[in-house]
A and B are shown apart, each in its own frame.
Chain A
Amino acid sequence: MSQASAEGETPLSPAAALAVLNNQQRIVSGRLGSNVWIITGAWGVAWLLGFLVIWVMDSHFSGFALPTWLGWTIFGALFAAAIVVSAVLGIRSGRGIRSNSANSFTGTVYGVTWAVAMLSISVFGAGLLSHGMTTGLADLFYPSAYTLLVGILYLAAAAIWRIVQMIVAGAFLVLLAVVAPFLGHPTNYLVFGIAGGAMFLTLAIVGAVRLRSAVARG
């Protein structure tokens, strides 16, 4: 192209132009989403270790007793760490990116929905407890109720932002939430830990491998 030549650039053949285009889009998507696998991995670790700790605590293995307060503190710390990792890396990858008001509205409503969902489960559960829900039932109710809502929120995210991976994760969590109560307590915690943890860690590994191959090609 004469215009390109006038600027001192080598004219691009269509093949070279398509390669430049694809390469650039791969680099940008890779850099903007480069943290996603770490965030997913942090959730995988929290689910795997967090639920396993509760399972060990409630299984009362002979010769090994984990105090309840310690078990739930470890669980809480692992999930709090995953929230911090998500927030910090999410903010970092969105650095310099601005949304219009329609997109911001969607993001804000979705974020607030998470808070409403999590809070409503704890109030709902408190209501049930105040009317005689046993701690045995609470051990089935809480993890399944939270997991069910997380799964549904993932599916909503998949619909809003068209992320196929989140359909897989959301559907898997919904399935896990509804199957777990049938397994009884404390086996449900073991299943949440192993199956939930494995799901997040698998997605994290797939994400990391994809990112690596994109960078290698770029």
Chain B
Amino acid sequence: METAQQSAAALVLSCAALLSGQHHSTALQSALVYPALADFARGLYRELASSAAAPEQGTQPLGALLSQGSARLQPLLITTVARLEQQQSVEYLCFASACWLRYSMGFDGKGDTLVVEDALADQLMQNRLERWDHIDELTAGYLAIDGLFPAPLAAQPAFAERLAYWLCVILANGMGTALQILSIECRDYSARDFSTFASDKRTPA
């Protein structure tokens, strides 16, 4: 049985996959072979405290996983609130929110239209059209949309700051490079036994 968290994870991973150049018809499982996307998935599952990759949705085309995102995103946002309260890292969760907001803008990296099927689609689009020219206003506009972000999260400056950061990185670089930046900036660089050196070597399939 798929959990609401797994459904939310499948949603944001699909957004990332689609915006980093995978086609609508690609299955999420296949898209996850892309190393930076796989890193995002691992980091996200870690923050969601869930080791399972959305098993029931993994084989469906990306396009089938994207509808009603604002509702399906909620479990992920609730986890973000909880982790912030406990002063735990929320980088991957913030990236996930930014990822979905970028998808809600309704165009892909080439400028082709993405049809966003969502109860809040009109408000999201209106915010994008009215506030595109300044990232802080754009982010504040998203946080102010009724029923999108839980009130404790929308009022949390640390969340607003990291959400704006990752949204900026995605908008400035495109999703493919943004995923690589996420992977590099959030990697665990804590001291390791030198024996892991060899396991870092690439082993092509």
Q: Do A and B bind each other?
A: no
